[in-house]
């Protein structure tokens, strides 16, 4: 199933996400559908559930953009526990079509 991309201004994009308590078949299906939606939407890298209207602490990641199925990664309840260095990259967001900006992130 391919989801529509939630656009900027929708409240779900600013609402707190709920933790994943059980990784069951339904959640696994959501992850596969999110990968499919990311590829169809010409997204790359990572995609959080709010971009498909779902408030869950979850992310699907594929920096190979579908070219290497073994590169797919799913994170449930991810936490950043250490960062170092800085890097600046130009990034875009499928929820804000056509907009790109320079983003500072840890290296």
Fold of 11-79: Peptide Deformylase (3.90.45)
Q: What is the pLDDT of residue 45?
A: 66
Q: What is the pLDDT of residue 88?
A: 96
CA angle 20, 70, 96 (to 5 degrees): 60
DSSP class of 11: G
Q: Is the separation of the CB atoms in 61 and 49 below 8 Å?
A: no
Q: Which residues contact 17 (CB under 8 A, 6 or more apart)?
A: 48, 49, 50, 55, 56, 57, 58
The pLDDT tens digits of the residues spanning 65-75 come to: 778 888 889 99
**Average pLDDT, integer, range 77-106:** 91
Q: Could you tell me the pTM of the whole model? A: 0.76
Instruction: Please state the domain extents for the chain.
Output: 11-79
Q: What is the pLDDT of residue 43?
A: 60
The pLDDT tens digits of the residues spanning 14-25 come to: 889 999 999 999
Q: What is the pLDDT of residue 79?
A: 92
């Amino acid at each position: 199933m391919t989801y529509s991309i939630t656009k900027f201004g929708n409240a779900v994009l600013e609402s707190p996400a709920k933790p994943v308590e059980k990784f069951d078949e339904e959640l696994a299906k959501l992850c596969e559908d999110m990968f499919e939606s990311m590829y169809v939407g010409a997204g790359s890298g990572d995609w959080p559930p709010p971009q498909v209207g779902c408030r869950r602490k979850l992310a699907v990641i594929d920096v190979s953009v579908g070219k290497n199925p073994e590169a797919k990664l799913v994170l449930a309840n991810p936490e950043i526990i250490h960062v170092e260095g800085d890097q600046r990259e130009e990034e875009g967001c499928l929820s804000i079509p056509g907009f790109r900006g320079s983003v500072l992130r840890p290296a």
